[in-house]
Amino acid sequence: MITLLLTLAGVLILAGFCVFVIAVAQAPEGYEDELGFHYVRPKRAVKRAATSRRPAMHPSVAHSASYYR
């Protein structure tokens, strides 16, 4: 009788874990704040043309960076 109860408990725990994993895999991504739940779209790869622009530097390091060009 005890073996049957332990087996049943194990099966229920395993089934609950499977339901949990499936629910987490299908849940939408987002965040919640005081205004409610906000969905976040997955980031897609954005194709951009190659540019030769360099990021702007702070003036205090611009003079030393020009030495290495």
In a domain, 30, yes or no: yes
Dist. CA 20–CA 29, nearest whole Å? 16
Look over the chain and give the mean of its residue pLDDT values, rounded to a whole number: 79
The answer on pLDDT for 33 being more than 80 is yes
The answer on pLDDT for 48 being more than 80 is no
The answer on pLDDT for 31 being more than 70 is yes
Dist. CA 69–CA 32, nearest whole Å? 47
Of 11, 40, 43, whose CA–CA distance to 28 is shortest? 40
Domains identified in the chain, total number: 1
List the structure tokens of 57.
């530097």
In a domain, 22, yes or no: yes
In a domain, 61, yes or no: no
Rounded to a whole number of angstroms, the CA Rg of the chain reads 27
